[in-house]
Amino acid sequence: GVYYCNLGAGTILAVNPFQDVSNLFDEKKITSYHSSLLSELSCMPAHVFAVAERALRNMKEGNNQSVIISGESGAGKTWTVRCLMRYLATVNLQHAALNLSDSFVGDEIEHRVLSSNPILEAFGNAATPRNHNSSRFGKYIQLQYDRCGTMVGANLHVYLLEKTRVSNRDQFERSYHIFYQMLNGCSEEERKEWKLPDAERMDDESAFEKTRQSMMSVGIFTEAQNQIFTTLSAILHLNQLEFEGDDDLSNPCTVRSEFQANTKTSAQLLAVPINHLVQTLTFRKIEAGSTRSADRRRSIFKRPCTRAECRARRDAMVKCVYERLFLWLVKQIGNDLSAPDKSAFHFIGLLDVYGFESFKHNCLEQLCINYANEKLQQYYIHNFLKLKQVGYKTLDELALEGVSWDGMEINDKISCLNALESTRNSLFALLNEECRLNRTTDALQLKSRLTDSFHKSPYITQPRISTETPSFTVNHYAGKVVYAVKLLTVKNKDELPLEIRELLVDSTNPFICNLFLDKSPDPATPSTKGKSLETVLSQFKKSLDELLTTMSTTNCNYIRCIKPNMESLPSKFDSRHVSLYRYYFIS
Summarize pLDDT for 141-154 with one digit per residue, the tens.
Answer: 999 999 989 999 99
Of 82, 11, 84, the residue nearest 46 (C-alpha): 11
Q: Maximum Cα–Cα distance for the chain, whole Å? A: 81
pLDDT at residue number 467: 82
- Residue 522 above 50 pLDDT? no
Closest to 314 measured CA to CA, from 266, 258, 261? 266
pLDDT number for residue 529: 45
Instruction: Work out the pLDDT band at 129, boundaries 50, 70, 90.
Output: confident
Q: What is the CATH code for 377-490?
A: 1.20.58.530
Q: Identify the CATH class of 4-164+340-359+552-586.
A: alpha beta
Name the catalytic one among 53, 121, 357, 421.
357
The mean per-residue pLDDT over the stretch 430-458 comes to 90
Q: How confident is the model at residue 8 (pLDDT cuts 50, 70, 90)?
A: confident
Pairing of the two strands 346-352 and 65-70: parallel
Sign of CA dihedral 55, 83, 371, 411: positive
Q: What is the 3-state secondary structure (H, E, C) of 297-337?
A: CCEEEEEECCHHHHHHHHHHHHHHHHHHHHHHHHHHHHHHH
The span from the CA of 54 to the CA of 31, in Å, is: 14
Catalytic residue among 8, 10, 74, 245: 74
Q: What is the DSSP letter of 521?
A: P
The per-residue pLDDT for 581 is 58
Residue 10 counted as an annotated binding residue = no
Which of 158-162, 430-434, 458-462, 514-518 comes out lowest in average pLDDT? 514-518
Instruction: Compute the distance between CA of residue 457 and CA of residue 529 in angstroms, rounded to an integer.
Output: 28
What is the C-alpha to C-alpha distance for residues 173 and 576, in angstroms, rounded to an integer? 27
35 is catalytic: no
Q: What is the mean pLDDT of residues 179-197?
A: 95
Asked if residue 227 has pLDDT above 70, the reply is: yes
Residue 131 falls in the annotated catalytic set: yes
- Which whole number is the average pLDDT over 295-309? 81
Residue 508 bears catalytic tag: no
Can 124 be counted among the known catalytic residues? no
Buried b (16+ CB within 10 A) or exposed e, 357-393: bbbeebbbbbbbbbbbbbbbbbbbbebbbebbeeeee
What one-character DSSP code corresponds to residue 385? G
Q: Are the beta carbons of 332 and 98 closer than 8 angstroms?
A: no
* pLDDT, mean over the chain: 87
Q: What is the CA radius of gyration of the chain?
A: 26
Residues of the chain with CATH 1.20.58.530: 377-490
Q: Mean pLDDT throughout 194-203?
A: 79
Task: Identify whether the C-beta of residue 283 lies closer than 8 Å to the C-beta of residue 270.
Answer: no
390, pLDDT greater than 50: no
Active-site entry in 78, 80, 115, 167: 78
Q: What is the pLDDT of residue 457?
A: 94
The pLDDT-based confidence of 295 (bands split at 50, 70, 90) is: low
The 10s digit of each residue's pLDDT in 23-66 is 999 999 999 999 999 888 888 999 999 999 999 999 999 999 99
pLDDT (tens digit per residue) in 231-290? 999 999 999 999 999 877 778 899 999 999 999 999 999 999 999 999 999 999 887 765
Mean pLDDT of the 170-181 span:
91
Q: Give the mean pLDDT of 370-387.
A: 81
The one catalytic residue in 131, 262, 394, 426 is 131
Q: Rounded CA gap, 59 and 92, in Å?
A: 13
- The single residue of 103, 134, 233, 370 carrying the catalytic annotation is 134
**Does 149 belong to an annotated binding site?**
no
**Higher local confidence (pLDDT), 484 or 288:** 484
CATH 3.40.850.10 domain position(s) in the chain: 4-164+340-359+552-586
Q: Would residue 355 show up in a list of annotated catalytic residues for this protein?
A: yes
- Closest by Cα among 355, 400, 405, 365 to 560: 355
pLDDT in tens, 319-369: 999 999 999 999 999 999 999 888 899 999 999 988 888 988 899 999 999
The CA distance from 412 to 416, in Å, is 9
H or E stretch covering 351: strand 346-352
The model's pTM is 0.89
Local structure of residue 12 (DSSP, 8 states)? E
> What is the average per-residue pLDDT within 574-586?
64
Residue type, 23: N
Establish whether 75 is an annotated binding residue.
yes
Structure confidence by residue, pLDDT tens digits, 543-562: 999 999 999 999 999 999 99
Banded model confidence at residue 301, pLDDT cuts 50, 70, 90: confident
Q: How far apart are CA 419 and CA 417, in angstroms?
A: 5
C-alpha closest to that of 322 among 414, 401, 235, 262: 235
DSSP 444-469: HHHHHHHHHHSTT-SSEE--SS--SS
Encoded amino acid at 254, one letter: T
Check whether 106 is labelled as a binding-site residue. no
Amino acid 536: pLDDT: 95
78 noted as active-site residue: yes
Contacts of 170 (CB under 8 A, 6+ apart): 359, 360, 361
* 175 is an annotated ligand-binding site residue: no
Q: Which residues contact 569 (CB under 8 A, 6 or more apart)?
A: 18
Please compute the mean of the pLDDT values over residues 8-18 and round it to a whole number: 87
Mode of pairing for the β-strands spanning 346-352 and 138-145: antiparallel
Identify the pLDDT of residue 249.
Answer: 74
Sign of the alpha-carbon torsion through 241, 246, 250, 256:
negative
Q: Which DSSP category does 124 fall into? A: H
Q: Which of 66, 70, 73, 565 is flagged as catalytic?
A: 73
Query: Is 402 annotated as a binding-site member?
Result: no
- Whether 72 has a binding-site annotation, put simply, is yes
* Predicted pLDDT of residue 526: 41
Give the per-residue pLDDT at 155.
Answer: 95
Annotated ligand binding at 372? The verdict is: no
pLDDT band, residue 3 (cuts 50/70/90)? very high
pLDDT at 518 over 80: no
Q: Give the span between the Cα atoms of 272 and 256, in whole angstroms.
A: 20
